[in-house]
């Protein structure tokens, strides 16, 4: 198995008073790149949470 770093985003949506939550994991080149992307995505109001995890592919 290959170890890889993922950027995990928890996203919220609102439509006519209904709220939805989605979780996306995006493969990253390395932990440093993930941390840069995490800071960038964290500025978006729709992103409730952004964090980096190490997983296997």
Report pTM. Answer: 0.83
- Which pLDDT tens digit goes with each residue over 33-44? 999 999 999 898
What's 50's DSSP letter?
E
What pLDDT shows up at residue 45? 87
pLDDT at 49: 94
Residues 6+ apart with CB under 8 A from 4: 27, 28, 54, 55, 56, 57
**51 - beta bridge partners?**
8
Structure tokens at 54: 């190490």
3-25, pLDDT tens digit by residue?
Answer: 899 999 999 988 888 889 999 99
pLDDT for 52 beyond 80: yes
């Amino acid at each position: 198995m290959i170890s890889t770093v993922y950027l995990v985003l928890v996203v919220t949506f609102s439509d006519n008073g209904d709220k939805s939550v989605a979780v996306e994991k995006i493969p990253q080149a390395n932990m440093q790149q993930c941390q840069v992307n995490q800071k960038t995505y964290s500025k978006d109001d729709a992103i409730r949470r952004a964090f980096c995890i190490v997983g296997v592919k």
